[in-house]
Structure 1
């Protein structure tokens, strides 16, 4: 096989998984997985400072932000500054998955805040966010102060911002209206983070330090943040998995079908024996899938190619693939392979979680989000 032909062979983990498409029925645990994916776990109340016991340390998980951690263990995002100080950190938006944080004792400042958050969308401003979420642009300085932002013009798409409790006659902020600014309002989208569980880690990259970067972990982080972006744009989003759990392919398709999704996007990372390969690819199984695959691939290739850590960033295009999750879904479906996890430069760039707004993972979220918006705009 020539190198070019080799690069078009699909990853072994996808081919092996495709064999499961001939399963006749859902697995024994499918009903539980389906219920959790469709309806989500019952919300829990964040621990308050007086609720023992609070651990003295916490390990940052994929998708975590300091605001999330502050709310989880102190009941208020106002504790972010104390966590920063205790860990000698200077930037609340730069934290690394796997880092162990000290949780200082005591209670957070008695600030009048809520636990609501908003995800910064492309071209957002603090004034626009304040107007949309709180009903007035006058709240922009308050949002800035609450999140430690010193320059209101320097916010990055993908950031998670804590929102203050609205003052005055209105006791809580109004929901964002279904307006042209929320172009995905009412659209049902199913996101499928590829692989999962000890038996299906997907492709992987082992660094000289012997640290292993697993595809399943990266795809879950990307899909989770993408869900937040889509929901902020008005979409109704279902996930086939929300934890590091194995879900059979036939069950993933069933979850999306039961959700009545308009489209399904399965998030993967590509891999090859040659570490030189990099580039975006999208896979489609049905005729109806093709436009979705071509649209997302175009967005990923153009957007990610501009900031690729190594050259060349090959345009693999949209390719036909008889994958189980594609053939068993009732809606247009696509498997996106934005980059090669086996490329050393990409692997290094993929370490940083989506919580870091400038991370490679967050770039993938942004371009996938743009591709989805382009698809619906052309419907």
Structure 2
């Protein structure tokens, strides 16, 4: 019996795989039914998202979000939008402050500050208003209030208030008060910028500006005002003692900042400019020599060339030529130096020197792009200052250079 059951089981095991194989063969031979064509004019049923493959859904989701959500601005775009908005606000403030509806009372200034608490322009106008009333103590309190009110991130606005306050003390306060305020400002702002601003303040101060509220109200404008516009400045004159005292303040600032920032060429150039403006050519040259002992090597070219530029404008042109010749001897391929040197000679107006320098420059062995620049400048100059023969000479020289380049 047991033997018969074992044989039956073996038969079933053999038959079942055979049946399964036949079934698979029939399924493979059976034709696959074609899918019905999707209706063309059927609206969305709400299931399309589920019917799509997962990767298609992932691609479609960001597109939908972009259509629904506004595009995010980059940091640069946000900063530009903010700057444009601030520029527009500043423009409206200037129109209001300079126009017929300019505030002429404390109440109006306070109302203006409610809408623009971080605007140094409004604060400085308010300071000038206080000065015009003779309220010096209240003006100082107002300056302190401005520095406490302006947001700490608005560094430039705070700096403008410090400069205006220092202007006020310089014009109406004592030397001790001015130096004390300068020390305070140096501790709360960029010291290098503050030193340079202080030098500019003391340098341009004249005795006849002591009681001029018109001038003080415009000290922060990009271009200093002309004194001829003000009746106060034309009527008042207090000699030269006040100017000499301010020169001493300038010297103190220059000495301090060249000692503290001796690796920055800007402070040395400001010292050179001051001495040249006072006719102290020897002092300017000594200052430049001292600067080269302190500045990094890569700043030497800039220091020498900028000093030469100042010599052309404020000092001895021969000394300026000597400085440019020296730096070009070491860097003959610096097109920027040649260009600045040519500018100064053209401004000086000596045609013989100008043409001699152009001839030297256009005989250099420089890349074609640089030579094209030099020839173009030479041609432009001859078209303005020369005649037909000189223009033809430059064109012929340029053609000779092109032919030589083609032959090489």
Pairwise TM-score range, normalised by the shorter structure? under 0.3
Mark the structure with the bigger radius of gyration.
2
Scaled by the length of structure 1, the TM-score of the pair is: 0.22
By percentage of residues, which structure has more helix? 2
Scaled by the length of structure 2, the TM-score of the pair is: 0.21
By percentage of residues, which structure has more strand? 1
